[in-house]
Structure 1
Amino acid sequence: MSHGSRLRDRIAEPGTTPLIGVYDMYSASLSAAHYDGMFVSGFGFAASYYGLPDTGFIAWPDMVAFVQRLRGAFPRHHLLVDIDDGYVDPEVACHVVEALERTGASGVILEDQKRPRRCGHADGKQVLPLDEYLAKLEMVLATRRDMVVVARTDATEEEDILHRAKCLAATDADVVLVDGVRSVEWIRRIREVVDGKPLLFNQIGGGKSPRLSLAELTELGVDVAIYSTPCLFAAHEAIDSALAELKRADGRLPAPAPDGGVGVAASTRLLERNIARRRTRV
């Protein structure tokens, strides 16, 4: 069974499917120990790979190369990939989708933002004319073989949100995402207009959307939840705290935790699992 089919089947199961945002191979290694699905977050990748905000700096060959490394280490995990606006040009978007499907991505998210783009939870977003986005989306849908395609709108005006969500649901896209949803009531309204089409909800720390459990999302009829930044923001806080403590201690490393904590041995064991997965590829 293809990676796309496996993700599509998982989404069709009862409940909300969680996909955890990863930004490098180490965060993915940790995520893989807890969840069977990953989301390759544009926010996290731009921050990790370039040290830049998520405003359109990502070059598609870098993203494809990262997904290739992920698939090698995690042959059975679901990998949903953020490809922003398809890197502007529709032909490029199709080329990237072909490359990612060959690499083993399970699915992609294609948004309707125009450049300069923004994080989906930032102010100042602008969207393409709907017919222009739909034409690009249709080209991508015609290009993919079995990959899951998530159609995403970043519309901010109430009437436009519902109109675009309904139009996206009428396409052959597998899933619909309205990013930056601000309330539970709006989740309900979007769920109603997309009818039976699977719905994706994006949770990001400090973002505009409400913080909801998987049980709450299931009750609202949400089929997929992507968690864009828990790994990135946890690393930010932990690294900053550890280095501040090292500075206070005049460069002396802290004593090992009673249970051994995270050191060379624990880190090596984590990474050795990636070698084992390669050897047991199915």
Structure 2
Amino acid sequence: MRDIESDAGPTTARRLRTRVTEGPLLVVPGAANALAARIVEDTGFEAVYVSGAGVANTYLGAPDIGLVTLTQLAEHVAAIRDAVSLPLVVDADTGFGNAIGVAHTVRTLERAGADAVQIEDQASPKKCGHFEGKQLVSTAEMVQKVHAAVDARRDDDVLVIARTDARAGEGFEAAVERARAYLEAGADVGFVEAPQTVEEMHRVPALLSAPQVVNLVEGGRTPLLPLSQLADFRIALYANASLQGAVKGMQRVLSALHATGSLDAALDDLAPWKERQRVVRKPAFDELETRYAHVD
């Protein structure tokens, strides 16, 4: 269940806002489902990114081309919210409609447990920010979407992250100008997706005063700089690193099984039974079962 403000400390939204505002750089791995989020938390990270691409890949077996619905996304967010106590940054793609649709999206995802909602300025249906052929809405339309997102949140600590995909089609300077307009409209955090050189990466936080996101994608357009060179950003996303690792692991295990008819050759790539149960908190559920056992 989502944290509430109490003697136990601030809400997850307040924790995230404070962390992003004050720094230092927050490293946020992506999670496509509650199990991945559990592993993100278990390995010591401070927040989870609910990746739209990851949900599309794992839930639909499809690429990131705008097929996931708001209802499907909200169900994933709610499941992840129940599974972890970390702040959740949620990728809401284009916001599922016009400005009114964005307002509905923000309210829906906030109820589901989002502590930050990211919207982007692509036209629907969107594509992954590192794909070819992206189309954008006008700056003016996106500004109104940002206004709607800011107005719709019930908790002022929930962050609105405004992403622009203009670098590929309009150039770096235009992308920065769009990001600036979205920040002036009230977005808390800027996100210039897919800068293409190291120089461009360093210029983003230098040119935009609000906290900025950098998205590090293996195989994408943005150079994979080490975290030591990204200190001027506030959020470093590794949106699908865990998913790519899982795909590779599944391929290795299943290829070995298919080739040999046995798991013997794949044991080093398998999480042991006991570890799997620990990650999904079976001992905690066993304790609850004992506590609430029926007594005649």
TM-score (normalised: structure 2): 0.86
Q: Say if 2:164 and 2:193, in contact at 8 Å, map to a contact too.
A: yes
Q: Say if 1:246 and 1:252, in contact at 8 Å, map to a contact too.
A: yes
Q: Say if 1:165 and 1:190, in contact at 8 Å, map to a contact too.
A: no
Q: In structure 2, what is the Cα distance between the partners aligned to 1:222 and 1:53?
A: 28
Q: Does 1:272 align with 2:281?
A: yes
Aligned to 2:5: none
Spell out the pairing of 1:27-38 with structure 2 (5 A cutoff): 27-34=36-43, 35-38=45-48
**How far 1:161 sits from its partner (Å)?**
1.1
Q: Say if 1:73 and 1:275, in contact at 8 Å, map to a contact too.
A: no
- Corresponding residue pairs, total: 272
TM-score (normalised: structure 1): 0.90
Q: Does 1:214 align with 2:212?
A: no
**How far 1:15 sits from its partner (Å)?**
2.1
Q: 1:160 aligns with which of 167, 174, 178?
A: 174
Identity %: 30
Q: Does 1:150 align with 2:161?
A: yes
Q: In structure 2, what is the Cα distance between the partners aligned to 1:257 and 1:190?
A: 45
Q: Does 1:6 align with 2:15?
A: yes
Distance verdict in 2 for CA 1:269–1:42, change over 3 Å = same
Q: In structure 1, what is the Cα distance between the partners aligned to 2:13 and 2:263?
A: 45
Aligned to 1:188: 202
Aligned to 1:60: 70
Q: In structure 2, what is the Cα distance between the partners aligned to 1:102 and 1:225?
A: 25
Q: Say if 2:191 and 2:213, in contact at 8 Å, map to a contact too.
A: yes
Q: In structure 1, what is the Cα distance between the partners aligned to 2:76 and 2:124?
A: 23
Q: Does 1:236 align with 2:250?
A: no
Which amino acid in structure 1 is aligned with residue 81 of structure 2? Answer: R
Greater RCO structure (CA 8 Å; 6+ sep): 1
Q: Say if 1:176 and 1:198, in contact at 8 Å, map to a contact too.
A: yes
Runs of 4+ in 1 over 6 A off after TM superposition: none
Which amino acid in structure 1 is aligned with residue 264 of structure 2? Answer: P
Q: In structure 1, what is the Cα distance between the partners aligned to 2:205 and 2:196?
A: 14
Q: Does 1:48 align with 2:61?
A: no
